[in-house]
Chain A
Amino acid sequence: MSTIGLVLRASARDLARNRWLIAYAAGFWAVTEALFYFGGSGPQVILSLLNAVLFVVPLVALVFGTAHVHASREFIEMLLSQPLSRRSVFAGLYLGLALPLTAAFLLGAGVPLLLHGAAADAPRLALVLLATGGALLTLTFAALAMVIALATDDRLRGMMLALGAWFVLTLAYDGAVLVLVSAMGDWPLERPLLALMLLNPVDVARVLVLTALDASALLGYTGALFRRVFGSALGPAVAVAALSAWAAIPVLVARRRFLRRDF
């Protein structure tokens, strides 16, 4: 435990002094403030923020995380030469990356949301779900970043992989789904589509916010399954569970790699 704390503290202190991380938090703050200042109606602000979260959070977590792990290579090797368990070192490293990132997101987006959200005529639930979704996305993509960084020795290669993963998960995946829908429109796609949404953390986070923001539209679809999923608390519950699973699985993969890897 103390090892985890030690590594975490060292890593977090390193990150807290990191200009990029501070810029990330400040940037989110500025964007959120600006949206509330210029944005007009509450739902519209949440919508713009949703887009920002879906685009920026995965990008920053992936790029920043990959770069950070690569940069910490010597630190990791130094730690591993000490009589410390690999498990604790890994836990410290992951939390030392994920927690400051999450904190930066919550500070940058969450605080102005709390400050203005009370005044805006926006659905409260949507604000809460947006913050939850953003935080879980950060945890997920920080873990994915570790997987990528631990799988590559070459920094450039790692960065390309990170950017590729970001592009696929935020844009290409949905594009492929859209093509699938238009190509297979005559088949019953309700169930496969819901499953496909669960397989992409960015989609899960988006649908999670939709359950609060666009319930009227989602319930307008002719389909008993949609009605059951989005007409009750089942939808948000499943989405949060899926996002949590998404945050957990890459951590386990990264941990396994870390334990077996020859540094």
Chain B
Amino acid sequence: MVTEVRARLRRASRLLAGGLAAVVGGAVSGTAGGAQDLVVGAGARFATLGAAVAAATPGATIRVTPGRYAEPTVVVRVPRLTIIGEDWPRFDGEGAHEILVIRADSVTVRGLEFANTGISQMEDRSALRVTESVGCVLADNRFRDALFAIYLERSTGCLVRGNDIRGTGGVETRNGNGVHLWYSPYNRVEDNQVRGQRDGIYFEFSRGAVASGNLSEGNRRYGLHFMFSDSCRYERNTFRDNGAGVAVMYSKVITMEENAFLGADGSTGYGLLLKDITDGSISRNRFEENSTGLFLEGASRLDIRDNDFRRNGWAVRLMADAEDSRFRGNLFAGNAFDVSTNSRTLRSDFEGNWWDAYRGYDLDRDGTGDVPFRPVRLFALVVEKHPEALLLLRSPITSVLDAAERVFPVLTPALADPRPLMRAPR
């Protein structure tokens, strides 16, 4: 398996360039150099995509004219094939089957609409599946009401860009993922829009993936989901109104930058949920109006820097097993609780953050407060133990509690920001 993947990777690096060239070239209709140019459509030479694919030779271009196509699952086994739809011809799975399966390297699929795969409890039925291939390009396609929209298995060096995916919005057990990567290392997922699926984007056993510029909105479970996928990065994505924004689980060295985690509310509403994560970095992200902005369980050695936490229920929840993370230059404003925890001993390190609840002073004028700030309120601990007490949020009695705790700090964890910023950094 490992040697096989390595060989594929080597081929991928050669072929990815070819695939990208195909994208650029594909935009110009009718490629040069006497390559095959096949047309599919009513009145054209091929009535179905299946017939055109059967007749195609490596490097051919298939153009699909507008219309509705309902045909059995098309399997592409011809390498370097380019399939281009004009004005989004609609391929309908008739609620019964997968639509397009790619089993060849460097295939490009662009400008098609895939619809209506139906629901299966037996298979991960996908509108567009890529199996054991290298260097595919899946760009600017539309997906409507598919169980899984794009499914990459044991494939590498692919580019998934600019696709518009709208799922059925059905419950988790009758819904699949928008972009699903399984054992597929080193792929890029860029500028896609995913709505109404189970997980918007899901990386499982897929190391080295990059997700950037995607919009993942209104998905049932997670906007983006990692399982056992090391050394991935995601940046400049927007996650809005998903069950939870992003879940990163059992993975190492994940880079998370400049994303927006918005509006994940509910008892399982997390902007970013981390579980058994080490050595990642989380910087310059926005967390707004989530029930919990950032949740860390078994997460250690993270560098959490320059993020904005605004108007969340809990900005940061650190479980007792989260260790040695560093919080620097983050901004906390308008959150009901800035930091909460279920433990009295916390081994994370806060320094130089800005807290809107800080009431200290700066006599030596160095820009940081002279009195440490303790972000864990006593009332937060009460709520952690007795969630119903949440109804007393903002009650004057909680201010009395917190004031008492400030004078006699015996119950809250020793967690403190020794140098809180006096001015908001952003």
Question: Which residues 215-239 of A sit at the B interface, judged by CB distance below 8 A?
Answer: 215-223, 227
Interfacial chain A residues near B390, Cβ < 8 Å: 217-218, 220-221
Separation of A40 and B393 alpha carbons in the complex (Å):
21
Q: How large is the interface on A (under 10, 10 to 19, 20 to 34, 35 or more residues)?
A: 35 or more
- Kindly state whether residue B25 has any CB partner on chain A within 8 Å: no
Q: Is the CB of A217 within 8 A of B336?
A: yes
Instruction: Tell whether A43 pairs with B334 under 8 Å between CB atoms, given A217-B313, A221-B390.
Output: yes
B266, B267, B382: the one within 8 Å of A178 (CB): B382
Contacts of B356 in A (CB 8 A): 40-41, 43-44
Question: What interface size band does chain B fall in?
Answer: 35 or more
Q: Which of A12-20, A140-148, A153-161, A190-198 contacts B (4 or more CB under 8 A)?
A: A190-198
| CB atoms of B313 and A220 under 8 A apart | yes
Whether A2 sits at the interface, judged by CB under 8 Å, is no
> Is there an interface contact between A220 and B333, defined as CB atoms closer than 8 Å?
no
Report chain B residues within 8 Å CB of A40: 333, 356, 424
Chain A residues 151-176 with CB under 8 Å of chain B are: 170-171, 174-175
CB distance from A30 to the nearest CB of B (A): 20
Residues of A within 8 Å of B388, CB to CB, are 181, 185, 189-190, 193, 221
A-side contacts of B330, CB under 8 Å: none
Report A1-57 residues with CB < 8 Å from chain B CB: 40-44, 47, 50-51, 54-55
B397 and A217 contacting across the interface, CB-CB below 8 Å: no
CA distance A51 to B388 in the complex (A): 21
On whether A220 and B291 interact (CB within 8 A), knowing A189-B388, A193-B388, the answer reads yes
The answer on a CB contact under 8 Å between A42 and B382 is no
Q: Mark B39-75, 1 if CB is under 8 A from A, else 0.
A: 0000000000000000000000000000000000000
Q: Which residue of B lies closest to A176 (CB)?
A: B397
- Are A216 and B267 neighbours in the complex by a CB distance under 8 Å? no
Complex CA gap A41/B423 in Å reads 12
In the complex the two chains form, is A219's CB within 8 Å of B266's CB? yes
Interface string of B264-283 (1 = CB under 8 A from A): 01110100000000000000
Contact partner of B313 (CB less than 8 A), chosen from A209, A214, A227, is A214
Instruction: Note all chain B residues with C-beta closer than 8 A to A170.
Output: 396
Tell me how far the C-beta of A182 lies from the nearest C-beta in chain B, rounded to whole angstroms: 6
A177 in contact (CB, < 8 A): yes
Task: Tell me how far the C-beta of A11 lies from the nearest C-beta in chain B, rounded to whole angstroms.
Answer: 31
* Contact of A220 with B265 in the complex, beta carbons under 8 Å: yes
Could you tell me the distance in whole angstroms from the C-beta of A23 to the nearest C-beta in chain B? 23
Q: Which residues of A contact B399 (CB under 8 A)?
A: 51
Cβ of B382 and Cβ of A182 under 8 Å apart?
yes
Residues from 43 to 81 in A contacting B, C-beta threshold 8 Å = 43-44, 47, 50-51, 54-55
- Give B residues with C-beta under 8 Å from A: 265-267, 269, 289-292, 311-314, 333-334, 336-337, 356-357, 382, 385-401, 424
Q: Which residues of A contact B (CB under 8 A)?
A: 40-44, 47, 50-51, 54-55, 170-171, 174-175, 177-178, 181-182, 185, 189-190, 193-194, 197, 203, 206-207, 209-210, 213-223, 227
Q: Other CB < 8 Å A-B pairs besides A51-B399, A197-B391, A210-B393, 13 of them?
A: A41-B356, A43-B333, A44-B356, A174-B398, A177-B391, A181-B389, A209-B394, A214-B313, A214-B393, A216-B313, A217-B291, A219-B266, A220-B390
